[in-house]
Amino acid sequence: CGGSVTGVPNDVVTPGSCPNSYVIVRTWTFTDSCGNSSTASQTITVNDNIPPVAPAAPANITVACSSLVPTAAVLTANDNCGGSVTGVPNDVVTPGSCPNSYVIVRTWTFTDSCGNSSTASQTITVN
């Protein structure tokens, strides 16, 4: 027989533990004009283990009283597998030497669809 033979690919995708983790088995089938065929396979493993890129948190501030503590800003991180991730803020309050004196460490956590996470933090001092 003779001549060139073009392979026809076929992909079989096996899902992993999250949307951006999976395995592709790509098999090419080559058939010549005489009906002889052979295959070649490739395994492609996709595993998202990179956390979103967190933005800078708002600057650290000092305020005179609790009524001046700002509400948590909406912060968005970029994910390498596409899309954006909105941060979830959490405030940890450490009491100071008197009732109206304390420190808030506000930390935003950004978690992508595969559970990878990053953080950004702001310190708010109330005097």
Same domain, 43 and 66: no
Same domain, 37 and 74: no
Nearest Cα to 83, choosing from 112, 118, 116?
A: 112
Same domain, 42 and 70: no
Element of type H or E holding 28: strand 21-31
- Tens-place pLDDT, residues 35-76: 999 999 999 999 999 999 999 999 999 999 999 999 999 999
Nearest Cα to 73, choosing from 48, 106, 36?
A: 106
What confidence score (pLDDT) does residue 86 get? Answer: 97
Same domain, 69 and 38: no
Same domain, 119 and 67: yes
- Total tally of structural domains belonging to the chain: 2
Same domain, 33 and 65: no
Domain residues for the domain of 68 are 61-126
Paired with 63 in beta bridges are 126
What confidence score (pLDDT) does residue 1 get? Answer: 62
Task: Flag whether pLDDT at 5 surpasses 70.
Answer: yes
Same domain, 20 and 68: no
pTM score > 0.85 for this model? no
Comparing 3 with 104, which gets the higher pLDDT?
A: 104
Domain for residue 93, yes or no? yes
Asked if residue 9 lies in contact with residue 27, where contact means CB atoms within 8 angstroms, the answer is yes
Compute the distance between CA of residue 57 and CA of residue 120 in angstroms, rounded to an integer.
Answer: 5
Instruction: Give the pair of three-digit tokens for residue 114.
Output: 């595969």
What confidence score (pLDDT) does residue 71 get? Answer: 97
Q: Residue type for 32, please? A: D
Domain for residue 79, yes or no? yes
Domain for residue 1, yes or no? no
- Tens-place pLDDT, residues 98-124: 989 999 999 999 999 999 999 999 999
Same domain, 74 and 115: yes
Same domain, 30 and 71: no
